[in-house]
Every structure is written in structure tokens, then in C-alpha cells.
Chains A and B, each alone.
Chain A
């Protein structure tokens, strides 16, 4: 029965227009991220001088990436001109926004990392989750599948498998699109795919899937396509940052700790992770992903089994 249900759900998914539209947005966003990190001379654009960078460094600012970008921008001799200024001072004015960005010389794994860090992929996953699971309740689809009346876990499992497959397809596409942007905008197409890179690929997939299953669970509870997409987009867009900061502040004031709520949220873990992360960060991400996945899965399954259909 599971295989039949997977085929039915796959067919249903392939009839959704969003399945084909979302990768187009993914491609566009990958190109935008690629332009920002590979072709935008950020520091020069912001008008920083070499002296500014040194001073910022002395003040304890973490500006390694910026400094590198700055050097790249300067060393390439872009269309920057030193304006006439008062004696002893010099300023840099930007005459071109484009140049060599911070990831111009990086490999495809780093470009993929920069893309995943932007978290926009979670928005596409949220939209797909809302439509894919929301349609079940909007149409009353399960009323047609009486064969699953005593096998709701099988039906739910089939849906999660199809959903997870699509999330994996988006993930693979993101990697391929990253390679394409590197080819078009970077120094050269190259990669350093070691164990850490592979682990990063699968761990980011797992966190993305956990985020998606969380939304699936929400959809099974509220039975609303619009509400699921709205919540998903809010969570994915980082709109809760202020609330999280406030939460951190209250907790840390109350308990005198350095607790950070975002460390225990899949989307935030996704932005923290990198291919060169330390073991503790990786382990925490695995645990967070596993806990969210398990709790969301069980909640959605319990709701689907307990509630009447239709």
C-alpha cells in the first residue's frame, strides 16, 4: 500500500504548478546571492578606505571577510578615484558597484554555503509545504482514500516521503545552481568536496526537512493552507529576530546565563552552520533537527489519526 500511496502522492505533487515555479525562484535567488558574494565589491561600495579597515580591526571588530573583500577591491584597481580632500586626509568614492566580491575565488561548496545561509530556500519549502499539505484539507482528499482509514500512518508516511524527496530535489538544484553561478560569475568552476562538505550538504538538508515537517505538523493542526504558508514565511524570513533577542534578554537577565534561543531553532541553526563548523555546532544541529523532526512527525501523525476526516 505504501508504494501505491507514494505513487499517488507523487502524481498529486507533479500536478501542482508551484512544484515547477519554485525552482525558477530558486535559480533567480541563487543568481542574486551569487552576484552579491562574487561580483559586488561591498567595501569599496560602502566607501571604506584601507585606513578605516585597520581602525575597525584595532577596535576589535571582526572584519576579516570585509578586509579581504576590501583588498580584493583595491588590488583590482577598480574604477575608484581618490577625491581631492583636505591635506592629510583621503577618501574613496565609488564609481562602480561591481568588482570582485568576497567569494570570487571560492569553490562551489562555499557558494552553496552562502546560498543556504541566506535562508530563502526555507521560504520555498514553506510554500510547498503549505500547498502540498494544505490541499489535503482544502479538498477533503482523504475522504476519497477510505482504503487508508485504518492505515493513516502509511498515508502520512507516503506524504512525508514525497515531501522529503521534493525538498531534496530543491537542495540538489541549489547546489547545481550554485555551480552554475560560480561558472558564470566566479574566477573558475572548481570544488573541494571532502567529508565535511558532504556532511554539510546532508545536514543542511536534514534541517530544511525538519523545518518543513514542522510546518506539515502545523498544517495538520490548523488545517489551513494560508496559515501554514504565512507562518512558514515568517519563520524563514527571520521576522522573529527581535522577538528572539527579547527572549534571550529576558532569560539571560532572569537566570544570568548566556542562553540563545536561536541555537535551538532549525532555521537559525541552518544560518550558523558552515562546511568548516566545529563539532559542537554540528552535533547541536543534528540534535535540533532530529528533535524537531520527531516531535513534528509524531504530532502530525497523532492529529491525523485522532481527528475525523472531512
Chain B
């Protein structure tokens, strides 16, 4: 059984009688990269703020393994980039880093250069952070999060503003930190395909509720290839599927059915449907993207912001 690093128990945060997150239970394994997936306003940032000690939960609790009853010790081992990076626009990257290093009792000036180089800001010199591009600010925010060599990184939309090359570099940096330094990472991103490339665990959150928590393997199975049948009336298809021995299928809506097994039998299935007099609009084998799966599981509903 894998060792848990962080466990939450019914975490709830209410702002002015409006719940931002409700009864959130997540279980992050030590050494994992945990992807938090959700729409804007779903509650991802609130969860991260609570876990970083920046916000107090209205109810519920969380526990970092190995720090029972001593949250302050755990907080000294956490690095976070939540929402926009907290930077002094009139200071250089070095000065921004120096402030945090001093607060963490780190006096070695080479340490700052190392961290800046790690995120690709080794040569920015005295350029003020206020003149950085969005991508550079994100990089500096991650460098700041790495000060103190944390065991746990909380990264809220860390690849926002990065160009494709920057995203690839960031993915490589995070993978390296995870594999070589053993840092457990909680990461949220709306670029789901990117998240899918590095995350080993997932939680899907919608309207403050965790809808699903899974490993990358489990999610891969859910996003597996399938036969997609489109007809005028999906209910007329179900008896045909049953009579032909198909059991792993799902009705998506009144016109669409997914079949997750025997993908090579698509011709056979098509023939059976035609012979049964079902008007097939289309039948094909498709692969579900993570994004599609996410939209399906969250109901594909329009987000109403309050």
C-alpha cells in the first residue's frame, strides 16, 4: 500500500454563506503529481489556499503525514504558487528571491542563482519583475515556490502564460523535481492534455465538490477508445447491443451511445443495427480526450458565475 502524504477530511470553506468547497476529501500519495481538474470557480484555488495555510477551512481538516498536530512544521516544507505570483514589480528577480530566502534563513547567494537558472531565469540580470512577460513572472513564481527546497509543491495554473516551449520546459522541470528530488506536487491546470502528461493522480472538482478521484491508470481506462454510435433514437440501439453480447456501453444522450468493448466488431455491430431497422447516422471508433471526459463528467454545463 502506498504511503499517503496528505489526506483531507470533509474540507469545507464558506464565503459569505456561499460554499466555495464542500466536504472535499482528497488523498495525495507521497511522491505523486496530483492533478486538480476543474472549471474556473470550481474551488481549486480555495483548496490550495487551505492546504497552504493561507485560508482557514470553515469546517473539516487536513493532515500532512509525519506532521500530526504540528501544521507549522508542515508549512515550512511547502512551496506554493497560488493565483498570480506574489512579486514586487520594482525589484529584480534576485531581490524578490532574496526577500524570501532571508525569511527562510537562507543566506547563500548562489542558492538564488541556482533556483533562477532552474526555471530559465538565470540571465535576467537586474531587469525589474514589473517588466517581465507573463511567462517570466510565472517562472519567477515557481522559483519562489522552490525556495526552502519544499517536500510539497502547490502550483495553481503554473503554465498560464507560457509559450509551447515554456510549457514543455516546465513539464520537464516538474517531472525532474518529482522524480529526482522526490517532491510531491499538487497542480491545477485548465490545459488538461498537458496535465495528463505528468499527473499520476487526479481529482475532478465541480462547484466545490470532488466528483471523482482517480489514478492516471484509472482515468486512462475511462478515456479508453470506444465505438461511438449516433442514431435518431439511442434507446432503439440498446436491445441490439444486448442481443449481440455487448455489455460495456453507456448512453450519452438521446442520440449517442458509447461502446467500450470489442472495437474490432464495429462492422458486425453496424450490420446488426441495419438489419434491425435502426437508422444509423454514424458509427465509428473514437478515442476520448481527457477534456472530453472532463466535460462529460462535469455535465458539460455552462458555468454560472456568482
Q: Which residues of A contact B (CB under 8 A)?
A: 4-5, 7-8, 11-12, 15, 17, 135, 139-151, 308-310
Residues in B whose Cβ lies below 8 Å from that of A309: 49, 54-55
CA of A308 to CA of B95 in the docked complex: distance in angstroms? 26
Interface residue from A8, A135, A141, A148 paired with B102 (Cβ < 8 Å): A8
Q: Does B72 contact A (CB under 8 A)?
A: yes
Pair A147/B104 contact, Cβ less than 8 Å? yes
Pair A143/B86 contact, Cβ less than 8 Å? yes
Interface residue from B86, B88, B103 paired with A8 (Cβ < 8 Å): B103
A141-B99, A310-B83 known; 9 new pairs, CB 8 Å cut-off, are A15-B88, A142-B54, A144-B100, A144-B144, A146-B52, A146-B53, A308-B55, A309-B54, A310-B54
Instruction: Give the nearest-CB partner of B101 in chain A.
Output: A8
Q: Which of B78-126 contact A (CB under 8 A)?
A: 78-80, 82-84, 86-91, 95, 98-100, 102-105
Question: Known: A8-B99, A15-B91. Contact between A149 and B86, CB under 8 A?
Answer: no
Interface residue from B49, B99, B100, B148 paired with A310 (Cβ < 8 Å): B49
Instruction: Give the nearest-CB partner of A150 in chain B.
Output: B72
- Mostly, the A contact residues are helix
CA of A308 to CA of B57 in the docked complex: distance in angstroms? 10
Q: Does B133 contact A (CB under 8 A)?
A: no
CA of A145 to CA of B88 in the docked complex: distance in angstroms? 14
List 19 A-B pairs, Cβ < 8 Å. A8-B99, A11-B95, A15-B91, A139-B86, A140-B84, A141-B99, A142-B54, A142-B86, A143-B54, A143-B86, A144-B86, A144-B99, A144-B147, A147-B103, A147-B104, A149-B52, A149-B54, A150-B75, A310-B49
Pair A7/B53 contact, Cβ less than 8 Å? no
Smallest CB-CB A-B distances: 9 pairs: A149-B53, A8-B103, A140-B86, A308-B55, A150-B72, A8-B102, A309-B54, A143-B86, A149-B75
Residues in A whose Cβ lies below 8 Å from that of B147: 144
Residues in B whose Cβ lies below 8 Å from that of A7: 102-103
Closest Cβ of chain A to B306, distance in Å, is: 18
Q: Does B291 contact A (CB under 8 A)?
A: no
Question: Known: A143-B80, A146-B80, A147-B75. Contact between A308 and B86, CB under 8 A?
Answer: no
Residues in B whose Cβ lies below 8 Å from that of A17: 90
CA of A151 to CA of B75 in the docked complex: distance in angstroms? 10
Closest Cβ of chain A to B148, distance in Å, is: 7
Number of interface residues of B (CB under 8 A): 33
CA of A141 to CA of B72 in the docked complex: distance in angstroms? 18
Residues in B whose Cβ lies below 8 Å from that of A140: 83-84, 86
Pair B103/A150 contact, Cβ less than 8 Å? no
Q: Does B76 contact A (CB under 8 A)?
A: yes
- Mostly, the B contact residues are loop
CA of A139 to CA of B89 in the docked complex: distance in angstroms? 8
Residues in A whose Cβ lies below 8 Å from that of B102: 4, 7-8, 11
Pair A11/B55 contact, Cβ less than 8 Å? no
Residues in A whose Cβ lies below 8 Å from that of B86: 139-144, 310
Instruction: Give the nearest-CB partner of A4 in chain B.
Output: B105
Interface residue from B49, B78, B99, B148 paired with A12 (Cβ < 8 Å): B99
Residues in A whose Cβ lies below 8 Å from that of B91: 15
Q: Does B233 contact A (CB under 8 A)?
A: no
CA of A310 to CA of B82 in the docked complex: distance in angstroms? 8
Pair B104/A4 contact, Cβ less than 8 Å? yes
Q: Does B71 contact A (CB under 8 A)?
A: yes
Q: Does B289 contact A (CB under 8 A)?
A: no
Pair B80/A5 contact, Cβ less than 8 Å? no
Pair A145/B87 contact, Cβ less than 8 Å? no
The 8 A CB mask of B37-77 against A (1 = contact, 0 = none) is 00000000000010011111000000000000001100110
CA of A135 to CA of B90 in the docked complex: distance in angstroms? 11
Residues in B whose Cβ lies below 8 Å from that of A11: 95, 98-99, 102
CA of A153 to CA of B91 in the docked complex: distance in angstroms? 26
CA of A142 to CA of B100 in the docked complex: distance in angstroms? 10
CA of A310 to CA of B91 in the docked complex: distance in angstroms? 20
Residues in A whose Cβ lies below 8 Å from that of B99: 8, 11-12, 141, 144
